[in-house]
């Protein structure tokens, strides 16, 4: 640095002179080859490299760092890159995506790792739940398929376990913590499929065709080894309190046309060994009963057990036999 430059530099550092004003489009250059220029064009401050995609702008160096905050319209709306917390805070600022994307909008690659008990996305915490106004929601999507063919999964989850740890694709738990009178609805999910007025559903050709709300499937190839119980659906009633309404394992309802059947059985193999399976915990409990029945003429109907059905509050019985003729 020449003597004159040193003199000017020291005077600026001591505050004896101010930096000069730069008119519009007059650049302030950095680097021995003017590698980076900074200029105000009348409406924006432009920072341009001499060569595209060469160089970088670093705030801090990993050892000496500083918070960086960008305000957007008010003191309550900002993005704060906080060194002490090692986080970026978005205060009152929504994140909108626009334009055409050739990559995933949000992507967590397989090379990324998570600390224990951390999540890719987490909203709230147990005991400090995220507050949501009644009638609103947290995540809502509106999608349409304007062209193409084949079925499209709006959500697709794929997971594998390669160790003794189990895997659960999705777990949802809802509870009422309200005092009296409480809500009228507490349920986990609604699945609704339909056809709009004047629109169509093509004739079913393949086994996957048709309109249905959920498909529950378990599978394994011939070479797999399964030592556990298998069931596509588990329905578990655990109500220990008194229930003012009707409690059932399954509620089914109809409207409009009369369905062909309550249950449609279809198989590509050998069917089912039995219609119901009552294990040892249910051998002597309702809806099973033991003893003979009587018909409307008070005649004895000999049977080994009977199945209890409730029709509008009145019990009716189906005789069961353990031996075939």
| Mean pLDDT for all residues in the chain | 90
Helix (H, G, I), strand (E, B) or coil at 263: coil
Residue 287, preceding bond cis, omega within 30 degrees?
A: yes
Is 306 exposed, middle or buried, given 0-12, 13-18 or 19+ CB atoms closer than 10 A? Answer: buried
Cα dihedral 278, 280, 286, 287 in deg (nearest 10): 10
For residue 1, pLDDT over 60 is answered with: no
For residue 16, pLDDT over 90 is answered with: no
For residue 9, pLDDT over 70 is answered with: no
Closest CA to 288 of 322, 314, 249, 320: 320
Residue 287 near residue 268, CB atoms below 8 Å: no
Render pLDDT for 19-66 as a digit per residue (tens, 0 to 9).
Answer: 566 788 988 889 999 999 999 999 999 999 999 999 999 999 999 999
- Residue 248 CA neighbour count, 13 Å, CB half: 8
Which sequence spans correspond to the domains of the chain? 1-51, 58-121, 272-325
Residue 186 near residue 178, CB atoms below 8 Å: no
Render pLDDT for 63-121 as a digit per residue (tens, 0 to 9).
Answer: 999 999 999 999 999 999 999 999 999 999 999 999 999 999 999 998 989 999 888 89
For residue 14, pLDDT over 70 is answered with: no
Higher pLDDT, 77 or 297: 77
Residue 275's region, left for phi above 0, alpha for psi from -120 to 50, else beta, is alpha
| Percentage helix, strand, coil for the chain under 3-state DSSP, each rounded to 5 | 5, 15, 80
For residue 217, pLDDT over 60 is answered with: yes
pLDDT in the model for residue 164: 94
Render pLDDT for 306-323 as a digit per residue (tens, 0 to 9).
Answer: 999 999 999 999 999 999
Residue 313 near residue 296, CB atoms below 8 Å: no
Residue 208's region, left for phi above 0, alpha for psi from -120 to 50, else beta, is alpha
pLDDT in the model for residue 319: 92
pLDDT in the model for residue 201: 94
CA 7 to chain CA centroid, nearest Å: 63
| pTM, full prediction | 0.77
At residue 282 the predicted structure's pLDDT band, cuts being 50, 70 and 90, is very high
H runs (alpha helix) in the chain: 3-14
Q: Quick one: average pLDDT of 195-222?
A: 94
pLDDT in the model for residue 251: 95
| Cβ neighbours for 49, distance < 8 A, ≥ 6 positions apart | 35, 36, 55
Number of CB atoms found within 10 A of residue 70's CB: 10
């Amino acid at each position: 640095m020449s003597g004159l430059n040193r003199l000017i530099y020291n005077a600026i550092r001591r505050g004896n002179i101010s930096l000069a004003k730069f008119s519009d489009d007059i650049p302030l250059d950095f680097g021995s080859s003017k590698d980076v220029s900074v200029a105000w064009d009348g409406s924006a401050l432009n920072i341009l490299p001499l060569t595209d995609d060469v160089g970088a702008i670093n705030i801090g160096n990993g050892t000496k760092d500083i918070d960086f905050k960008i305000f957007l319209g008010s003191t309550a709306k900002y993005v704060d890159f906080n060194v002490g917390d090692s986080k970026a805070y978005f205060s009152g600022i929504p994140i909108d995506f626009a334009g055409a994307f050739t990559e995933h909008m949000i992507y967590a690659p397989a090379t990324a790792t998570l600390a224990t008990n951390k999540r890719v996305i987490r909203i709230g915490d147990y005991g400090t739940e995220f507050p949501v106004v009644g009638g609103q929601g947290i995540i809502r999507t509106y999608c349409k398929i304007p062209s193409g063919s084949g079925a499209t999964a709006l959500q697709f989850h794929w997971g594998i376990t390669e160790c003794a740890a189990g895997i659960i694709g999705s777990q949802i738990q809802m509870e009422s913590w309200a005092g009296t009178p409480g809500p009228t609805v507490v349920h986990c999910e609604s699945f609704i499929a339909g056809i709009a007025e004047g629109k169509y559903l093509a004739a079913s050709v393949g086994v996957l065709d048709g309109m249905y709300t959920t498909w529950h499937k378990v599978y394994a190839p011939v070479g797999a080894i399964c030592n556990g119980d298998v069931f596509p659906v588990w329905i578990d009633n655990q109500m220990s309190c008194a229930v003012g309404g009707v409690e059932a394992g399954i509620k089914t309802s109809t409207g409009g046309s009369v369905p062909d059947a309550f249950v449609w059985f279809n198989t590509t193999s050998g069917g089912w060994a039995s219609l119901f399976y009552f294990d040892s915990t249910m051998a002597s409990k309702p809806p099973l009963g033991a003893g003979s029945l009587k018909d409307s003429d008070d005649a004895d109907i000999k049977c080994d057990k009977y199945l209890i059905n409730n029709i509008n509050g009145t019990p009716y019985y189906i005789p069961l036999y353990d031996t075939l003729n």
